[in-house]
Homo-oligomer: A and B are copies of this chain.
Amino acid sequence: MVDLAQHLTEGPVSLKSVADRQKLSERYLEQLVPDLRKAGMVKSIRGSQGGYLLAKKPEDILIGDVIRILEGPIAPVECTDQKSGEDCCEKTNFCVTREVWVKVRDSINDVVDSITLADLLEGVEKEEVERLNIFDEKA
């Protein structure tokens, strides 16, 4: 998603180009990106010269949403997931420790929902500036 955002002015971005730049296999990306498309995060353009585009502005993309789409619901233990989280409390005291996991879960979600794709782009720019500075020092 970061790579897509960095190249959003250049038209559709092929998975091949992302794979090359990010040193990931195209096959692997091929498996992941369709989930983002189904969730309305990216738009796809098939055929030659096709590729992917962000469906929203980077400021409007929470990385929490991206993570949840790619990795499923964020839950440190199964019973803190909304769906399947009822069957574990037969055990004495289990629900006390469950409260801990609920707090952990909420805290994680708060963090990842407080960062947008645009925030990450800023980070990339900073990094590039730093790389240039190091280069200057060496020269």
Contact = CB atoms under 8 A, between A and B. Distances in A.
Instruction: Determine how many copies of this chain the complex contains.
Output: 2
A25 interface: no
B120 A90 contact: no
A34 to B, nearest CB: 20
A123 B108 contact: no
Nearest to A76: B108
Q: Which of A22, A103, A110, A111 has the most CB of B within 10 A?
A: A111
A39 B99 CA distance: 25
Given A23-B90, A91-B23, A108-B108, A124 B96 contact: yes
A92 interface: yes
B22 A124 contact: no
Interface of A: 2-3, 6, 21-24, 63, 76, 90-93, 95-97, 99-100, 103-104, 107-108, 110-112, 115, 120, 123-124, 127
